[in-house]
Structure 1
Amino acid sequence: MPAADLPLLIDAARRAGRIATSFTGPAAQRWDKAGGAGPVTEADLAVNDMLTDVLRTARPDYGWLSEETEDTAARLDTDTVFIIDPIDGTRSFVEGSKTWAHSIAVAQGGQITAAAVYLPMLDKFYTAALGQGAALNGVPLTVSAPRQMRDCSVLVTKPALQPHHWRSGVPPALKPGHRPSLAYRLALVAEGRFDGMLTLRDSWEWDIAAGALIVTEAGGTITDRAGLALKFNNPHPTLNGIIAATPLVHEGLHTALQPASA
């Protein structure tokens, strides 16, 4: 029920923004997760607690997958699941930067049906519902329309620029660029500010879920690095890298990459 779920996600994301911005990033208490999984702050946990209460109370029959909640197999027994990153780009939050986001999505049968990505410090609110388009602050979004690969811009981090990833060298369109939030990188493609984004590393579902629908509803194409369609709510909630771009650029990137196993 994308139409019914999206208003719930929008309200929850706005509440998340009010909670997160009540903390001062560098002053917020923080910890390092085990296994080098990165930092977490008291703001992440406060937002996660609120989202758990608000969303699960509203949809008690939905499963739950969040970066800041211990995962269990219970979600695999539900057809519909919330996929949440309370603060995507926690390092950015800790540094006092503005490019962190709340990423909230609903997946049904492995497909994202409703999504919200909210950057409260930039006043940017991206939304999408399956079959109903994507928007930024209520204004419809459409991906860019580059005429050929050499004219495009692709948001990519340095590890993906290693020559061994590419059949015939790194395409000239790929220029290093960094946004701490993967959800925001995807939203920038939907907004048309970049023609594509690429990450070749395994990616957590909660970093990708909301942005994936925003890209496709804006007319873009998104797959894993092997060119396969994304499926969410997997037993191990990771995806095999991401290629998100306009249809032309997606085809060019996928063709230029060395073959990858699924």
Structure 2
Amino acid sequence: MPAPEADLQLLEDAARKAGRIALKYWRHAPRAWDKGDGAGPVSEADLAVNEALQAQLMGARPDYGWLSEESEADPSRLDARRCFIIDPIDGTRAFIDGQDHFSHSLAVAEGDRIVAAAVYLPARDLCYTASADGPALMNGQPIAPSGADIDGARVLTYRAATEPGHWRGGRLPPFQRDFRPSLAWRLCLAAQGRFDAALSLRAVWEWDIAAGSLIAERAGAVVSDRRGGRMRFNGPRAMIDGLIVAGSHLHRQLLDALEP
């Protein structure tokens, strides 16, 4: 079984190749359509990137499982010792609109834990990486979360998460809400301290957060589901019960402020 560092190099190489493919479509009016059932849009670029990633990654690691937003579900992944967890383009709406806030999110799970991760934003040439035993890096430089307090913290989340009903006593804590389309990037931004936390109170797909969760953890952030529990990956439903990612002090404050 390859070391996590070897898998990490494979992921980073594949992410950069994915970026070159995506940029050929970006701002060139790619064909796009809605997947239906509330699953959101998909573009021809998503599918082209997915095909290239699957060929490269599974070609290099044919005994690994495969879980991707843009591939048919394959239950055999549940029996694999390691599994790729991939979002070919995270932030597809932003990509279609010509924004540069989209990313490629690539991870390897061993059992239910992530052991290698890369998140790459090709339009910004930002590459976040981490392995289970190594540091979290952004373009080769170490990153770390902020030590912010909840009062005035900049929290990356969607608007509905600030509704009073989610918070104890109906009182929204005094943080500032911000947003970025790519959920994978939100975790990385919290990991590097550009924002103070990333928060979701609704279930999230594994492929959106697998890579970012390890990057944030290795940067020194506390990473949990919305109730403070450990995230477990490569599960049958491929979903996690929300997330809280922040420095240890702010993570505890957010968890304590939320309705259980």
Q: With the length of structure 2 as denominator, give the TM-score of the two structures.
A: 0.97
User: Residue 253 of structure 1 aligns to which amino acid in structure 2?
Assistant: L
Q: For 2:228 and 2:173, how far apart are their aligned partners in 1?
A: 18
**Which secondary structure does the structure 1 equivalent of 2:231 belong to?**
coil
Partner of 2:197: 196
Cα distance between partner residues in 1 of 2:71 and 2:207 = 11
What is the CA-CA distance between 1:149 and the residue it aligns to?
2.5
RMSD: 1.0
CA distance in 2, matches of 1:13, 1:26: 21
Uncovered stretches (5+) of structure 2, i.e. residues with no partner: none
After TM superposition, give the deviation of residue 180 of structure 1 in Å: 0.6
Structure 1 residue 26 displacement after superposition: 5.7
CA distance in 2, matches of 1:5, 1:167: 42
Residue 151 of structure 1, CA deviation: 4.4
2:154 and 2:177 in contact (8 A); partners too: no
Q: Which amino acid aligns with 1:132?
A: G
Task: Percent identity, please.
Answer: 52
Distance across 1 between alignment mates of 2:6 and 2:124: 26
User: Quick one: distance in 2 between partners of 1:149 and 1:179?
Assistant: 20
Give the aligned partner of residue 221 of structure 2. 220
- Structure 1 regions of 5+ residues with no counterpart? none
| CA offsets 1:52-107 (integer angstroms, 9 cap, x no match) | 00000100010000000011211111121000000000000000000000000000
SS in 1 for 2:144: coil
- Which of 39, 44, 47 is the equivalent residue of 1:45? 47
Q: Is the 1:92–1:180 Cα contact (8 Å) retained in structure 2?
A: yes
1:71 to 2:59 alignment = no
1:165-197 Cα shifts (integer Å, max 9, x gaps): 111311001x23221100000000011111111
Query: Bigger CA drift: 113-122 or 137-146?
Result: 137-146
- Runs in 1 of length 4+ with deviation above 4 angstroms? none
State the secondary structure of the residue aligned to 1:193.
coil
Contact 2:188 2:215 survives alignment (8 Å): yes
Separation (CA, whole Å) in 2 of partners of 1:241 and 1:24: 30
Shift of 1:155: 1.5
The equivalent residue for 2:146 is 144
Equivalences for residues 10-29 of structure 1 within 5 A = 10-25=12-27, 27-29=29-31
* 1:103 aligned counterpart, secondary structure: strand
Q: Helix, strand or coil: the match of 1:255? A: helix
TM-score (norm 1): 0.96
1:52 & 1:120 partners in 2: Cα distance? 19
> What's the CA shift for 1:31?
1.4
Secondary structure of the 1:118 match is strand
Alignment size in residue pairs: 257
Read off the aligned partner of 2:159 and give its amino acid letter: K
